[in-house]
Amino acid sequence: MAKGALTYGYSTDLWTLPRIVDVMEKEWGVRYSQSRMWDILRAHRLSWQRPRRQAREKDLETVKRWKRYSWPRYKKKPGESAPS
């Protein structure tokens, strides 16, 4: 499962309990209920985590340039009041 969910034919790389149960059964022929699988994952100190959302079309270079050149004009400086 370290390969990612896309490798196993899923539409996203997000692992869910039903997907983990399904892959376990296909790969090793072992079927666990989702609640039992959750117990097993917790016993191995794995936790539920939501992936950080990021726009697919995000241009990191443009963002970096904007933060460097444009953001300082809008950033409030100490002692200034809010722009009106």
Question: Which residue range(s) make up the domain with 27?
Answer: 15-49
> Domain for residue 68, yes or no?
no
Phi and psi at residue 22, to the nearest 5°: -65, -45
Count of C-beta atoms within a 10 Å radius of residue 32: 15
Q: In total, how many domains does the chain have?
A: 1
What stretches in the chain show pLDDT beneath 50?
Answer: none
How far is 14 from 25, CA to CA, in rounded Å?
A: 18
Helical packing angle, 17-28 and 34-43, nearest 10°: 90
Question: pLDDT over 70 for what percent of the chain?
Answer: 93
> Domain for residue 31, yes or no?
yes
> Domain for residue 1, yes or no?
no
> Domain for residue 75, yes or no?
no
Question: Quick one: pLDDT at residue 44?
Answer: 95
